[in-house]
Amino acid sequence: MTADSIPVAPALAGVAWEPGAPKPDAILTATGVRRTFGGLTAVDVDHLEVQRGVITALIGPNGAGKTTFFNLLTNFDNPDTGTRSFNGRDLDGVAAHRVANLGMVRTFQLTKALSKMTVIENMLLGATGQVGERLSRSLIPALWKSQERSNTERADELLVRFKLDHMREEFAGTLSGGQRKLLEMARALMVNPTMVMLDEPMAGVNPALKQSLLDHVKGLRDDGMTVLFVEHDMDMVQEISDWVVVMAEGRIIAEGPPASIGQNQAVVDAYLGSHHDSALDLEADL
Amino acid sequence: MDWGSIIENTTRGLIGEQFIYFGLAALGLNIHFGYTGLLNLGQAVFMAAGAYGLSMSVVTLGLNFWWGLLLGIIVFPLILAAIMGVPTLRLRADYLAIVTIAASEMFRIIARSPSLDRWTGSSDGLTGFATTFYELSPYDRQERYLFGLFIGNQMWVVTVGWITLVLVIIISRLLMRSPWGRVLKAIREDEDAARSLGKNAYWYKMQALMIGGVFGAMGGMLRAIGTQSAQPQNFITDVTFFAWVALILGGAAKVFGPIAGAAILYAILSFTDVALRQGVDNGHIPEWLMTGTQVGQVRFMLIGLGLILLAAFRPQGIFGNKEEMALDDR
């Protein structure tokens, strides 16, 4: 395949296929972000821009710093140096819960379904700006009942869309691993986000559910949301992402449309070791 | 065996003053631990805040009873919660446990200090702050009430105590059925998940610590009023653990759990006290096994045995939900 024949999403046409490439309409940018744990530099990213309205995948071998970088982008962790901005707002010093209120919601690699709460309670928790969540108003149901009702309607619609409506009253702890992933995604949508950050959405999900999860992720884009996800599953990356960012040893080593990544020398080196100068040749190695 | 006095004492344990004091403290702990997952091992210091808030305001500072009430139930516990919560609530649950148990012991030892005699009355404590309270009593001081269970002043404490309990139960129930309570439960289940959905977990934990502390202070203040004294010895760590026993016995995260737990705990303590004592006196229990002076200790051994059996056969507590408990194992 030559560079001309590789398909590129229209929004990203003309973007250079190189680390730190500027995007025409970046919703999230990170510059000079560094995070060390003792002597280990987990993340050292010079520059990254994430295009609005598309699905961007963040991939890389184990220990590349993807999840750490993810935590830094969502303010669940603070970088040693560097700046991040979301929708034109500097994220430095902004508390993690405020980032969610700004419209960027994340999920977790180890799914955080709230086990001892029912599925519908999990969903309702996601709604923002709830009057009844303020201590001073919570004692008088009349003040929040109508809002609760409209939130419940929205939650029920989402449950139907994610095929979880039959589990509505069950404890979330009784759901299967895949259903928990679905619930976590549906719950994130209750926040009405502009950007959804998914940390390994396919981990531990059976193949049958995988397809429906893929469709849901695509659905987010079709609804106008921006998606950034961390993933190991290359099939999923190839199938749904519009743009791929590759990390290795804390740095971004490549960017480009999904079809271009497999041929990128830096990526091949990162995954297979640098002495492979082309595709893996087992006989020559043994 | 004098069954009349056994029944009388057991009933007094079931609905009497001790039940009210510790029921309130356990209701506070239920907000902390049952709903929010905060490990407060110093509920005694919140109770002491209520007791000393009232007694020091009235005796040491010469304020009137109502100011003392306000300071003891609202102001002191809120300040205390802020002092303990600000440094620890951003950290893991164990740090709050360390700070609360330390704070409760520090308070008790400082209050006992002879150099503070002028302020806290040191180990003798403070007395004479509840006059206004008993002046309001509608009951005759000499008369016995409720089938002779309580004499006048006691009856007044029990009446006010029950009204307080009912109010606290109603407030707990309203809070826990509101979206606010839902956020607390989410924080208990997974703080990061709550934060990822835009909830300020730190502030909610602070609010929970404050409200549970206020409930504990009510219990402590009533206890000081009931015994008409505020003494450091009334707020030793055992007090915290009695409240914990009541909570675990009844079942955490159920509004009525801690109340039922406190009632059962004090009913058993009163029952075994009288029954064992009579058994020893009548010779039903031989001298080589146990003497009358050992009754006090033996009944706590029985409570301990009961708790072990509870942990083995009904870990969710009497009112707890077994299915909910089982979800922990997944």
pLDDT exceeds cutoff 90 at A209: no
- State the angle between helix axes of B76-88 and B43-55 in degrees (0 to 180), rounded to the nearest 10: 150
Closest partner residue to B196 (CB to CB) among A100, A135, A138 is A100
Closest partner residue to A128 (CB to CB) among B185, B192, B198 is B198
| pLDDT for position A108 | 92
Burial B108-137 (b: 16+ CB within 10 A, else e): beebbeeeeeebbbbeebbeebbeebeeee
Residue B15, in any domain of the structure:
yes
Average pLDDT over residues A214-242: 90
Are the Cβ atoms of A135 and B192 closer than 8 angstroms? no
Are the Cβ atoms of B197 and A95 closer than 8 angstroms? no
Are the Cβ atoms of B179 and A132 closer than 8 angstroms? yes
Are the Cβ atoms of B200 and A106 closer than 8 angstroms? no
Are the Cβ atoms of B179 and A130 closer than 8 angstroms? yes
Q: Return the H-helix or E-strand segment holding A246.
A: strand A243-248
Are the Cβ atoms of B185 and A171 closer than 8 angstroms? no
What CATH number corresponds to the domain at position B280?
1.10.3470
Average pLDDT over residues A105-120: 92
Are the Cβ atoms of A117 and B186 closer than 8 angstroms? yes
| pLDDT for position B330 | 46
Residue B299, in any domain of the structure:
yes
| pLDDT for position B307 | 86
| pLDDT for position A286 | 46
Between the CA of residue B277 and those of B264, B284, B287, B300, what are the distances in Å?
A: 20, 10, 12, 14
> For residue A114, which residues of chain B lie inside 8 Å, CB to CB?
185-186, 189-190, 193
Residue B323, in any domain of the structure:
no
Nearest chain A residue (CA) to B172: A139
Are the Cβ atoms of B198 and A133 closer than 8 angstroms? no
Residue B328, in any domain of the structure:
no
Domain that holds residue B107: 3-317
- Answer whether A78 touches B (CB < 8 Å): no
Percent of chain A with pLDDT over 90: 68
pTM assigned to the model? 0.91
Are the Cβ atoms of B174 and A105 closer than 8 angstroms? no
- Using one digit for the tens of pLDDT, what is the confidence trace for B47-103? 999 999 999 999 999 999 999 999 999 999 999 999 999 999 988 888 999 999 999
| pLDDT for position B132 | 93
Which residue in A117, A123, A125, A130 has the most chain B C-beta atoms within 10 A of its own C-beta, making it the best mutation to test that interface?
Answer: A125
**DSSP characters over B3-66:** HHHHHHHHHHHHHSHHHHHHHHHHHHHIIIIIIT----S-HHHHHHHHHHHHHIIIIIS---HH
Residue B266, in any domain of the structure:
yes
Dmax over CA atoms of chain A, in Å, equals 75
> For residue B188, which residues of chain A lie inside 8 Å, CB to CB?
116
Residue B330, in any domain of the structure:
no
Closest partner residue to A134 (CB to CB) among B180, B186, B330 is B180
pLDDT exceeds cutoff 80 at B242: yes
Q: In total, how many domains does chain B have?
A: 1
pLDDT exceeds cutoff 50 at A212: yes
The domains located in chain A, with CATH, are 3-113+192-285 (3.40.50.300), 116-174 (no CATH)
- Using one digit for the tens of pLDDT, what is the confidence trace for B131-170? 999 999 999 988 999 888 899 999 999 999 999 999 999 9
Q: Please give the mean pLDDT across all residues of chain A.
A: 89
Residue B329, in any domain of the structure:
no
Residue B60, in any domain of the structure:
yes
Closest partner residue to A117 (CB to CB) among B189, B200, B207 is B189
